[in-house]
Amino acid sequence: MFHEPWYLLGALPVLALAAASYAWGAARRAKLERQLGDAPTLRRLLDARAPRRRRVQAALRISALLLLMIALAGPQWGVELVETRTQARQVMIAVDVSLSMLAEDAKPSRLARAKQELSLLIDELKGARVGVMAFAGQPVVVCPLTTDGEAAKQLLDTLDPSSVPVPGTAIGTAIRRATQALSRYSGSKSLVILTDGEDHKTDPAGAADEAAAEGVKIFAIGIGNPEGEPIPVRDENGRVTGYKKDKRGATVMSRLGEADLSLIAQKTGGAYYRSTPGAAEASEIARRALGAASDEASQGSSMRLKSRFMIPLALALLLLLAEAFIPEASPSSRAPAVPAPAKTLLPLALLALLLPARASAATAESALRRGNKLYDKEQYEPALEQYGLAGRKSPRDRRPVFNAGDALYRLKQYDKAAEAFKAVAQSGGPPDVRSQAYYNLGNSYYAAGDYAQAVDAFRKAVTLQPSDAEARLNLAVALRRLKNPPPKKKQDQNKQDKNQQQPPPPKPQDQKNSGGGQPPPQPKTRPQDQKMSKEDADRIMRAVQEREKASPQNLQRAPLRKPDVEEDW
Question: Which residue has better confidence, 552 or 376?
Answer: 376
Distance from chain centroid for Cα 293: 20
- pLDDT of 161: 86
Q: What is the mean pLDDT of residues 134-143?
A: 89
Report the C-alpha gap between 510 and 147 in whole angstroms.
15
> Do 244 and 233 form a contact (C-beta atoms < 8 A)?
yes
Catalogue all structural domains in the chain, each as residue range(s) with its CATH number: 6-80+306-353 (no CATH), 89-294 (3.40.50.410), 366-532 (1.25.40.10)
Query: Which of 58-62, 300-304, 549-553 is predicted least confidently?
Result: 549-553
- pLDDT of 493: 44
Q: What is the mean pLDDT of residues 42-61?
A: 74
Question: Which residue has better confidence, 333 or 131?
Answer: 131
Q: How confident is the model at residue 41 (pLDDT cuts 50, 70, 90)?
A: low
Is the pLDDT confidence value at 523 over 50? no
Is the pLDDT confidence value at 122 over 70? yes
Q: Give Cβ neighbours of residue 264 (< 8 Å, ≥ 6 apart).
A: 171, 175, 193, 204, 205, 207, 208, 218, 220
- pLDDT of 489: 47
> Do 487 and 500 form a contact (C-beta atoms < 8 A)?
no
Tell me the residue type at 303.
M
What percentage of the chain reaches a pLDDT higher than 90?
A: 12
Is the pLDDT confidence value at 540 over 80? no
- pLDDT of 521: 35
What percentage of the chain reaches a pLDDT higher than 70?
A: 72
Q: Does residue 406 come out as left (phi exceeding 0), alpha (psi in the -120 to 50 range) or beta? A: alpha
Is the pLDDT confidence value at 212 over 90? yes
Specify the pairing of strand 89-96 against strand 129-135: parallel
Q: Count of CB atoms within 10 A of residue 464's CB? A: 22
CA atoms within 13 A on the CB side of 454: 28
Q: What is the mean pLDDT of residues 366-382?
A: 84
Question: Could you tell me the CA-to-CA distances from 184 to 90, 215, 216, 531 in Å, in that order?
Answer: 10, 12, 12, 11
- pLDDT of 312: 87
Q: What is the mean pLDDT of residues 383-412?
A: 84
Is the pLDDT confidence value at 431 over 70? yes
> Do 149 and 126 form a contact (C-beta atoms < 8 A)?
yes
Its pTM surpasses 0.85 = no
Tell me the residue type at 12.
L
Is the pLDDT confidence value at 332 over 70? no
Mean pLDDT of all residues belonging to the chain: 75
Q: Helix or strand or coil: residue 394?
A: coil
- pLDDT of 301: 55
Nearest to 255 by CA among 196, 213, 204, 312: 196
Is the pLDDT confidence value at 368 over 60? yes
Q: What is the mean pLDDT of residues 539-564?
A: 44
> Do 208 and 199 form a contact (C-beta atoms < 8 A)?
no
- pLDDT of 216: 93
Report the C-alpha gap between 194 and 171 in whole angstroms.
10
The string of DSSP letters for 280-297 reads: HHHHHHHHHHHTS---EE
Question: Which residue has better confidence, 521 or 411?
Answer: 411
- pLDDT of 389: 84
Is the pLDDT confidence value at 295 over 50? no
Q: How confident is the model at residue 219 (pLDDT cuts 50, 70, 90)?
A: very high
Q: What is the CA radius of gyration of the chain?
A: 33
Report the C-alpha gap between 435 and 464 in whole angstroms.
6
The string of DSSP letters for 452-521 reads: HHHHHHHHHHHHH-TT-HHHHHHHHHHHHHHHSPPPHHHHHHTTTSPPTTPPPPP-HHHHT---TT-PPP
> Do 93 and 132 form a contact (C-beta atoms < 8 A)?
yes
> Do 111 and 101 form a contact (C-beta atoms < 8 A)?
yes
- pLDDT of 191: 94
Segment (H or E) for 92: strand 89-96
Nearest to 298 by CA among 180, 187, 435: 187
- pLDDT of 449: 86
Is the pLDDT confidence value at 136 over 50? yes
Q: How confident is the model at residue 45 (pLDDT cuts 50, 70, 90)?
A: low
- pLDDT of 434: 83
Is the pLDDT confidence value at 264 over 90? yes
